[in-house]
Structure 1
Amino acid sequence: MEALKKAANNDEKPLVSVLVNSFEMYACEPTPYAYSFVVKSLFKSSQLDQLPCVLDHMRNVERFEPPERIFVEIIRIYGCENRIRDAVDMFFKIPSFRCNPSSVSLNALLSVLCKRKEGIGLVHQVLLKSRGMNIRLEESTFEILITALCKLKKIGYAVEILDSMSEYGYDPDSTLYSRILSAMCKLQDVSSVEVWGFLEEMRAKRFTPNEVDYANVVSFLVKVGKGMDALDLMEQMKLDRIKPDVVVYTCVLDGVITAGDFDKVEEVFDEMLVLGVVPDVHTYNVYLKGLCMQNSFEAGFKLVACMEELGCKPDVSTYNTLMGALCKVGKVMRAKEVLTKMRLKGLQRNLHSYSILINGLMCEGEVGEACEFWEDMLTRGFVPMSLTCDEMICGLCKLGLNSEALRILKQMVEMNIMPGVSAWEALLSIRQLHLNDTVSLDLEDYFQLSYHKFNESQREESILKRLQEGDIVALISDAGTPGISDPGTELAKLCVKEKIPVIPIPGPSALVAALSASGLSTVEFTFVGFLPKHAASRKERLLVSATQTVTQIFYVPPHKLQQFLEETSALFGDARKCVIAREITKVHEEFWRGTLSEAKEAFSAHQPKGEITVLIEGKEISVDETPSEAQLEHELSDLISSGHSLSMAVKLVSEVTSVKKKTVYTLALRKFGKLQGGEE
């Protein structure tokens, strides 16, 4: 072994040769420990290219049965080197080394796969093949999978795996429930009903939620505006003999205040003190917010004084809360006094402090002071919020201080801040901005540049150059969303290619607005936009849409509406339902609903004006159209690949296609039975 260790530091000679020669010198054979040492040495010396040779020698020359730990080590090494495929291949080759893999090596591989996005897609394949290798899943395997799915926010799949543990003879412990509950509370698109339901399911399994579980759910309920539900949950928490801490009480107070039940706020705060839970600065700030919402400013000032007496030092948020509430009711002078007091207490004003006072001063017409605060804010290195900039520009324009408004606009551009709609409206309402007696500047000098389908390709180079030089370019459409059946797509492609950020500014979109109010299916849809002008190309596109089962959306010029209805009626069928939306989000907005045949008749007498969006319902799937075996196989394969069990895939395909479950199940067993390990 000493000779082997010396050779490990020498890159010239292959380690496998050194290994064999070293043991031949002493007339003995290499041991598993020696091979384990070689593997680790290759990793440390970055010579993994020699590893296949070492493994081949161990498999084809040596007679011993290698312990599984060697392969576990190799799998982990490949994981560290981000060689995911090599790790998977190593796992599947273990039996060829006269070694029977177990859940130990499976867990090692799953741990590697679950740490990387590209590895997650291989998990299902590994699990399917591991069945054929007679590897029994252990509790630790389920824990690895559930933890990974929670990190990926795939909570539905995590719950499915949790439920399937009983099929393998395991009872999930409370830790797994807590892990899923915690991940569920962090999701943006989960409802309070789902979270509450999972909590009840946890209780039904005789698991009492712990302090962290309760805190997570309370925080979630407050976040989604269910403050009173959070209060009820805190009561349940106490019934379970778990004392809420200051974080839970603070969160519940915030929720009840948002709900507007101020009497209950007093009860909760008093209860907190009685139970000996000491409020912290965050608790006091929340309680202060409640007082300010009731315009109880004197009580708020007394609370701040009380905080100081109790040794809980008010922070910037405390004073900002008071200033914000005072400015909201026009008491700007009092808010300035609070700012002075904050400075005397040694607290530095933050961006929010400046924003509060600038907005308050502008609302009261104190433009001079607002500008002073604005300059002080910039001097201290703060980047103002867009809303504050808009308030400044709108207020200055309203008072006729156009040169000051333009100066603010310049500063915004220099700081890469995009003005809001209100600021643009205020600026665009001024035709000519006079900077002084001798200089005048038209707003067009700042941003006007025509960009349409006839000069799109010519303009792109100059626009791209300005972007690369650091300029901010706003693509503004006179109607609709840029890039959606409107110039802008090619420019966006160029920006993405050049790694220039493209920032969308949400606004009215005819296709989404029309779809949401159409009454047609919104689950899936195809946005076609404007059809080709050439008749043959137009018919070819319409034939594709006519066969699709999802809602089809078209933009149609008013003078071509009748032609469009004639063509779609012939290809889609007279009875197909449609919606014709006109002037969406405008004063003369109008919706017409009926069949294509009725639409032809209704619009034959007159040509509507304005922008038109036509929506046509998708083709219905006839019950007589039984899917082919190939189609069923394709659907089953997609579901199994996405993580569904064979039985669940059969159930879903049967429901969607109306094919008998027994028929689908027979096909599934024939095509996928081996992969599923004969799943019942």
Structure 2
Amino acid sequence: MAGTLYLVPTPIGNLGDISPRMADTLAQAAFIAAEDTRVTVKLLNHLGLKKPMVTYHRHNTAASGQAVLDRLLAGESCALVTDAGMPAISDPGEEMVALCAAAGVPVVPIPGPCALVTALAASGQPTGRFTFEGFLAMNKKNRRAHLESLRGEERTMIFYEAPHKLVATLRDLADTFGREREISLCRELTKLHEEIRRTTLGEAADWYGEETPRGEFVLVVRGAQPEEEGECTLEDGLTLAERLREEEGLSLRDAVRQAAKELGLSRNELYRLAVEQE
């Protein structure tokens, strides 16, 4: 019988954020697949645990992924962790999950810290609908192409960014979405120097062009304003009423009533014009 792959989130900065269930899962797993064992051992020391570990990161997904899968198929359980946050979110863990799904290995996610949700909640931007875009490409052409594809995006957009790429990214964001678009820059979340700066893309690009960015950033960018639909005219109403008569066999009066309701037009005015056109 196959073992289970547990997706165990790790604190994004504050070790106090680890839950009892997260700690218990790490303790009970046969082994841990870690992005960087040097980082994970600090967490294990904090919990008073000693566990066998293997590395699993973006540079060894093929070889290490298969090795982890073989052990799972042999009946061992594995806790997959990243350096910080939820495995498989903007992380090669998604490939490990896909391998397990294809092989019929159970995958159990453990709820816990996730930088994108933490940043979104505190951003002050709309949270009802959002899109997570992860890290933008380092190549300027690819980065701009990605942003261009989001030019009309109305949902709140969330990006991860490293400090050494921040200024270039902010300038490209401002060029694409406009300097007045709102942004919340969430830096070093849950850590000692946590900061949330709510401003505009233009002001952010100017500020960090002079101040050296420090720490990891989550960028929460407000979506585009919905495009206002043009007002419908009586001519539009006539066209719809005619189609309703042809396709649904409605009388002139009923077709006008339905067309006026759907398009927000005056029923009396539309009916008078329709009679004149008869």
TM-score by length of 1: 0.29
Relative distance call for 1:661 and 1:626 in structure 2 (3 A) is: closer
Cα separation, 1, equivalents of 2:103 and 2:44: 32
Q: Secondary structure at the match of 2:196?
A: strand
2:163 corresponding residue in structure 1: 558
Q: Kindly provide the amino acid, as one letter, of the partner of residue 212 in structure 2.
A: Q
2:180 corresponding residue in structure 1: 575
* Structure with more of its chain in helix, by fraction: 1
Matched, 1:591 2:196: yes
Given the alignment, which residue of 506, 526, 545 partners 2:150?
Answer: 545
Report how many aligned residue pairs link the two structures. Answer: 209
Q: Residues 655-666 of structure 1 correspond to what in structure 2 (within 5 A)?
A: 660-662=263-265
Question: 1:487: Cα distance to partner?
Answer: 2.2
Q: Residues 163-174 of structure 1 correspond to what in structure 2 (within 5 A)?
A: none
Relative distance call for 1:480 and 1:626 in structure 2 (3 A) is: farther
Extract unaligned runs of 5+ from structure 2. 1-19, 31-40, 241-257, 267-278
Cα separation, 1, equivalents of 2:177 and 2:223: 9
Q: Kindly provide the amino acid, as one letter, of the partner of residue 572 in structure 1.
A: F
Matched, 1:610 2:215: yes
Confirm or deny: 8 A CA contact 1:508 1:585 kept in the other structure.
Answer: no
Q: Kindly provide the amino acid, as one letter, of the partner of residue 492 in structure 1.
A: V
Q: Residues 133-282 of structure 1 correspond to what in structure 2 (within 5 A)?
A: none
Relative distance call for 1:519 and 1:429 in structure 2 (3 A) is: closer
Confirm or deny: 8 A CA contact 2:181 2:201 kept in the other structure.
Answer: yes
For 1:225-280, what per-residue CA distance to the aligned partner results, in whole angstroms no more than 9, with x for missing partners? xxxxxxxxxxxxxxxxxxxxxxxxxxxxxxxxxxxxxxxxxxxxxxxxxxxxxxxx
Extract unaligned runs of 5+ from structure 1. 1-385, 391-408, 415-423, 434-442, 634-649, 664-680
Q: Secondary structure at the match of 2:78?
A: coil
Matched, 1:428 2:33: no
Confirm or deny: 8 A CA contact 2:29 2:79 kept in the other structure.
Answer: no
Q: Kindly provide the amino acid, as one letter, of the partner of residue 602 in structure 1.
A: W
Q: Secondary structure at the match of 2:197?
A: strand
Q: Secondary structure at the match of 1:475?
A: strand
Matched, 1:453 2:58: yes
Confirm or deny: 8 A CA contact 2:127 2:156 kept in the other structure.
Answer: yes
Larger relative contact order (Cα-Cα within 8 Å, sequence gap ≥ 6): 2
1:620 corresponding residue in structure 2: 225
Q: Secondary structure at the match of 2:88?
A: coil
For 1:147-174, what per-residue CA distance to the aligned partner results, in whole angstroms no more than 9, with x for missing partners? xxxxxxxxxxxxxxxxxxxxxxxxxxxx
Given the alignment, which residue of 115, 126, 149 partners 1:521?
Answer: 126
Question: 1:475: Cα distance to partner?
Answer: 0.7
Relative distance call for 1:608 and 1:501 in structure 2 (3 A) is: same
Question: 1:495: Cα distance to partner?
Answer: 0.6
Cα separation, 1, equivalents of 2:215 and 2:205: 18
Q: Kindly provide the amino acid, as one letter, of the partner of residue 264 in structure 2.
A: K
Q: Residues 40-189 of structure 1 correspond to what in structure 2 (within 5 A)?
A: none
CA RMSD for the aligned pairs? 3.0
TM-score by length of 2: 0.67
Q: Secondary structure at the match of 1:580?
A: strand
For 1:615-668, what per-residue CA distance to the aligned partner results, in whole angstroms no more than 9, with x for missing partners? 1101002436569x9xxx9xxxxxxxxxxxxxxxx9xxx9xxxx95249xxxxx
1:247 corresponding residue in structure 2: none
Q: Kindly provide the amino acid, as one letter, of the partner of residue 472 in structure 1.
A: S
Cα separation, 1, equivalents of 2:47 and 2:100: 32
Q: Secondary structure at the match of 2:108?
A: coil
Q: Residues 243-642 of structure 1 correspond to what in structure 2 (within 5 A)?
A: 412=28, 428-429=45-46, 443=50, 446-623=51-228
Whichever of the two has the greater Rg, that structure is 1
Question: 1:427: Cα distance to partner?
Answer: 5.7
Relative distance call for 1:625 and 1:504 in structure 2 (3 A) is: farther
1:197 corresponding residue in structure 2: none
Relative distance call for 1:427 and 1:599 in structure 2 (3 A) is: closer
1:114 corresponding residue in structure 2: none
